[in-house]
Amino acid sequence: MSVLLFDETPYEIINNRVKRKLIHTENLMTVVVDFSEGPWAEADPLHNHPHEQTTFIAEGEVIFYFEGEPEQRLKAGDMVAVPPYVKHAIKLVSPTARLVDSFNPVREDFLK
């Protein structure tokens, strides 16, 4: 069994406005991502990956972009599912936000 004690686990700093903490099993990864310096003028670049993804908006508000679909404005309590290989991105609308992403399989690129 793995346990992540939030207050005792340091963030991985991705850039000046994104940091994360993660836990995983052999087949499933959960990532808490904190965003700051909002609202952003532009969305992050679209990206895709071979993983299934679900995202829970725990705090704040974002616009979620899916390639070929209308944008979705999401707030705390909302969730979204992203199929493998679908290009997607977010734009922070509130000053900060916390998203909880789950991935299957594990995002090996997130592991050190």
Asked whether the predicted pLDDT for residue 72 surpasses 90, the reply is yes
Contact at 8 Å (CB) between 66 and 55?
no
pLDDT band at 1 (very low <50, low <70, confident <90, very high): confident
- 8 three-state secondary structure: helix
Asked whether the predicted pLDDT for residue 112 surpasses 80, the reply is no
**Which pLDDT does position 76 carry in this prediction?**
98
What average pLDDT score do residues 30-46 get? Answer: 97
User: What is the overall mean pLDDT for the chain?
Assistant: 96
13 half-sphere exposure, CB direction, 13 A CA radius: 3
**For the chain, which domains are there?**
11-110 (2.60.120.10)
